[in-house]
């Protein structure tokens, strides 16, 4: 008995279709079609993808889909990776899950305006305090020493002071 991969490959060749033509018609990537025809199911992350692609591929090739899927299930049950379906149970809740759950329970129609009013009140209080502190400070305390700062001079650099003139008689 031939495998599902061989049956798909044989049906495609009987219809004289290329892998690219099948890929365009089914919207399945060419590397996935080649993997299905080679029986290389390890490229797929889960068996649900394999079943879906085989169903689409077999429907396109006008094959007996329930028979093909039955054979595929028996083939997949023999592989280690695709033997069991992944667990649907959630992992244990952590702190982030608890926090998000608490946020989802809040009535935001009531909480959002209250949060907005609280923020406006806090900004107003801190703004008023900053304004009062600024008003109470000396306005000249922020000024520097001034723009003109004379440089250091040596005594030799200065011109001599002229002697007082004697009145002419």
Is there a single domain that holds both residue 8 and residue 37?
yes
Is there a single domain that holds both residue 19 and residue 72?
yes
Q: How far is CA 14 from CA 18, 69, 71, 149, 152, in A?
A: 11, 20, 20, 99, 103
Residue 114 domain boundaries: 95-136
Average pLDDT, the chain: 85
Q: How far apart are CA 109 and CA 51, in angstroms?
A: 46
Quick check: is 142 in a domain? no
* 8 Å CB contact between 60 and 26: yes
pLDDT > 90 in the chain, percent: 45
Is there a single domain that holds both residue 26 and residue 70?
yes
Quick check: is 51 in a domain? yes
Three-state SS letters, 48-73: HHHHHHHHHHHHHCCCCHHHHHHHHH
Q: Given the structure tokens 């011109």, which residue do they identify?
A: 159
User: How many domains, in total, are found in the chain?
Assistant: 2
Q: What is the pLDDT of residues 104-152, one digit of tens each?
A: 999 989 999 999 999 999 999 999 999 998 888 887 777 777 766 666 6
Question: What's the pTM?
Answer: 0.51
Is there a single domain that holds both residue 62 and residue 117?
no
Quick check: is 37 in a domain? yes
**The pLDDT of residue 52 is above 90:** yes
pLDDT confidence bin for 77, thresholds 50/70/90: confident
């Amino acid at each position: 008995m031939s495998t599902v991969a061989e049956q798909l490959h044989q049906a495609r060749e009987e219809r004289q279709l290329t892998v690219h033509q099948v890929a365009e018609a089914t919207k399945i990537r060419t590397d996935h079609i080649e993997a299905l025809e080679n029986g290389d199911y390890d490229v797929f992350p889960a068996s649900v993808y394999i079943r879906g692609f085989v169903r689409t591929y077999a429907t396109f090739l006008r094959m007996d889909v329930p028979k093909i899927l039955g054979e595929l299930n028996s083939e997949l049950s023999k592989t280690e990776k695709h033997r069991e379906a992944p667990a649907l149970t959630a992992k244990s809740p952590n702190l982030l899950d608890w926090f998000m759950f608490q946020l989802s329970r809040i009535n935001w129609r009531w909480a959002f305006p209250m949060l907005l009013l609280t923020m406006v009140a806090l900004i107003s209080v801190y703004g008023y305090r900053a304004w009062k502190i600024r008003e109470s400070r000396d306005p000249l305390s922020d000024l520097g020493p001034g723009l003109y700062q004379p440089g250091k001079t040596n005594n030799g650099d200065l011109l001599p002071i002229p002697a007082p003139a004697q009145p002419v008689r």
